[in-house]
């Protein structure tokens, strides 16, 4: 049986822009006025995402899903058996006796 190395990767790239206008002016009285304006604010483009895994990771993921399903089934039956023992237990040999 061969041994493999499971590998996975993920990346995300988000492009954004911000427009900022700085204005330095003088009013009628000769007072300097500084203003900041952002007409568009922050513009965020949808992210570019990349993710994946190699075949070895796919195999281990599938085996984990199978094992998890089997354990879920055992958990279900163990709970069902506990309920059966607690609520439906009676002694057939004692039926009809006072």
User: Which residues touch 88 (CB under 8 Å, ≥6 apart)?
Assistant: none
Is residue 98 in some structural domain? Answer: no
Per-residue model confidence (pLDDT) at position 84: 67
How many separate domains does the chain show? 1
Is residue 85 in some structural domain? Answer: yes
Is residue 4 in some structural domain? Answer: no
- Residue 92 pLDDT greater than 80, yes or no: no
Question: Residue 52 is part of which domain span?
Answer: 10-89
Is residue 57 in some structural domain? Answer: yes
Is residue 35 in some structural domain? Answer: yes
Per-residue model confidence (pLDDT) at position 95: 56
User: Residues 62-80: pLDDT tens digits?
Assistant: 889 999 999 888 888 777 7
Higher pLDDT, 30 or 79: 30
Higher pLDDT, 82 or 15: 15
- Residue 35 pLDDT greater than 70, yes or no: yes
Mean pLDDT over 55-64 rounds to 87
Is residue 27 in some structural domain? Answer: yes
- Neighbour-count burial for 23-50, b at 16+ CB within 10 Å, e otherwise: eeeeeeeeeeeeeeeeeeeeeeeeeeee
Is residue 79 in some structural domain? Answer: yes
Other CB atoms within 10 A of residue 58 CB = 13
Is residue 26 in some structural domain? Answer: yes
The overall average pLDDT reported for the chain is 82
């Amino acid at each position: 049986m061969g041994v493999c190395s499971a590998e996975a990767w993920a990346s995300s790239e988000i492009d954004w822009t911000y427009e900022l206008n700085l204005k330095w002016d003088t009013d009628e009285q000769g007072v300097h006025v500084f203003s900041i304006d952002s007409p568009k604010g922050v513009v965020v483009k949808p992210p570019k995402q990349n993710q994946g895994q190699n075949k070895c990771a796919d195999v281990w993921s599938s085996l984990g899903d199978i094992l998890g399903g089997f354990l879920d089934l055992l958990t279900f039956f163990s709970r069902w058996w506990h309920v059966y023992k607690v609520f439906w237990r009676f002694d057939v040999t004692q039926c009809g006796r006072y």
